[in-house]
């Protein structure tokens, strides 16, 4: 949970000073996502990849110069937050991820390196290589067959899926522990001696759809329950997070896929047009987006239907006061 007192007024103000921009980023950003490649082998119905299948066609790696820039800039500030290697891609589909993880671990040793994966490409040997490369954490989505995702049958299918995966990975029976079993999801923790944090989950569909999931900027609103009235609640996701897709574009948040029709207008800038990730984070476009999301006004575009990342009342009061003072 982020502490409201750590929110800086400067996050919502344009600065031309590089040192100030670097300081703001270091203070505010605790979650960085780099989409290291474009390919995903699945088209899950609760993901935009199910509607825009160009992710299946080819694998485009993020350019080395972009990756080097992001990691190098993070090294400058001794970044110690979360670094994710995925947004809408399957990072384990390309074994080059091992080199990406090694580089990040070498340059930003205090960061928590994390991967979201569907687990399809994972093997016991691959997992060991990831751990040796410096990966700290892995979150696995156990996607279920579309005919076995409903209600109690979905819960049963979820347990069968994690059991099958555990056998593939040679996990012992006692190392997989169920943490949550509800009408919406089943979640497990995998406890291994290598010290890596591993979580796995399956999403269950009920009469309302896939409750608890995000509409991904409204793209999958037909299968995910969403608010019928536009969101007015504050969102500070653009303050805490920094997301770069495989093209080097800064996206407003990891829920918005900006390489599909109509959504490219939400790109906040490309890293190639800035001298650092700090100046991109402090750009006019990024600041305008943060101020709009931090307001209590009606949200537009991809954020209209989103009901995630709601801000605690005490934090909202602090930020609302900041924005009021900026308008004076």
- How many other β-carbons are positioned within 10 Å of the β-carbon of residue 208? 12
Q: Are 292 and 13 in contact (CB under 8 A)?
A: no
Residue 241 has pLDDT above 90, yes or no: yes
Identify the pLDDT of residue 3. Answer: 43
Which segments of the chain does DSSP mark as H helices, in order?
A: 18-28, 64-76, 97-107, 124-133, 151-168, 237-240, 277-281, 284-294, 313-327
- How many other β-carbons are positioned within 10 Å of the β-carbon of residue 115? 23
Segment 240-268 mean pLDDT: 91
Q: Model confidence over 164-223: pLDDT tens digits?
A: 999 999 998 789 999 999 888 899 999 987 789 999 999 888 777 777 777 787 777 777
- SS3 percent helix, strand, coil of the chain, rounded to 5, is 40, 15, 45
**Dist. CA 283–CA 285, nearest whole Å:** 5
Q: Model confidence over 8-20: pLDDT tens digits?
A: 888 998 877 789 9
Angle at 256 between CA 266 and CA 186, to 5 degrees: 170
**Dist. CA 185–CA 196, nearest whole Å:** 23
Beta bridge partners of 82: 31, 112
Of all residues in the chain, the percent with pLDDT exceeding 90 is 59
Chain mean pLDDT for the chain: 90
Lowest-confidence region among 3-7, 85-89, 126-130? 3-7
Residues with Cβ within 8 Å of 126's Cβ and at least 6 positions away in sequence, in order, are: 92, 95
**Dist. CA 257–CA 277, nearest whole Å:** 19
Identify the pLDDT of residue 239. Answer: 94
Identify the pLDDT of residue 245. Answer: 96
Identify the pLDDT of residue 105. Answer: 98
Q: Are 46 and 210 in contact (CB under 8 A)?
A: yes
Of all residues in the chain, the percent with pLDDT exceeding 70 is 97
Angle at 116 between CA 67 and CA 6, to 5 degrees: 75
Per DSSP, the residues of 4-40 read GGG--GGGGS----HHHHHHHHHHH--EEEE--B---
Residue 59 has pLDDT above 60, yes or no: yes
- How many other β-carbons are positioned within 10 Å of the β-carbon of residue 230? 13
Q: Model confidence over 280-315: pLDDT tens digits?
A: 999 999 999 999 999 989 998 888 888 777 788 888
């Amino acid at each position: 949970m982020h502490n409201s007192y750590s929110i800086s007024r400067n996050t919502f103000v344009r600065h031309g000073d590089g040192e100030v921009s670097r300081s703001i980023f270091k203070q505010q950003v605790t979650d960085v996502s780099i989409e290291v490649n474009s390919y995903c082998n699945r088209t899950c119905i609760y993901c935009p990849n199910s509607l825009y299948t160009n992710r299946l066609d080819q694998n485009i790696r993020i350019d080395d110069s972009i990756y080097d820039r992001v990691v190098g800039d993070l090294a400058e500030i001794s970044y110690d937050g979360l670094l994710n290697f995925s947004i809408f891609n399957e990072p384990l589909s390309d074994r080059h991820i091992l080199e990406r993880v090694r580089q990040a671990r070498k340059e930003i040793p205090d960061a928590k390196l994390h991967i979201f994966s569907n687990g399809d490409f994972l093997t016991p040997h691959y997992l060991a290589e990831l751990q040796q490369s410096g990966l700290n954490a892995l979150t696995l989505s156990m996607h279920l067959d579309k005919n076995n995702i409903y209600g109690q049958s979905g819960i049963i299918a979820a347990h069968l899926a994690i059991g099958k995966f555990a056998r593939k990975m040679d996990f012992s029976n006692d190392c997989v522990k169920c943490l949550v079993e509800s009408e919406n999801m089943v979640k497990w923790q995998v406890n291994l001696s290598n010290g890596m944090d591993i979580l796995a989950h399956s999403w269950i569909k009920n009469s309302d759809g896939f409750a608890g999931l995000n509409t991904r900027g409204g793209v999958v609103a037909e299968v995910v329950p969403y608010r019928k009235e536009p969101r007015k609640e504050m969102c500070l996701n653009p303050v805490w997070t920094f997301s770069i897709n495989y093209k080097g574009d800064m996206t407003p948040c990891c829920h918005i896929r900006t390489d599909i029709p109509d959504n490219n207008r939400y790109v906040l800038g490309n890293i190639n047009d800035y001298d650092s990730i700090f100046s991109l984070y402090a750009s006019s476009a990024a600041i305008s987006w943060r101020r709009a999301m931090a307001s209590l006004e009606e949200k537009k575009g991809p954020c209209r239907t989103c009901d995630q990342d709601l801000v605690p009342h005490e934090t909202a009061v602090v930020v609302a006061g900041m924005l009021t003072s900026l308008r004076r």
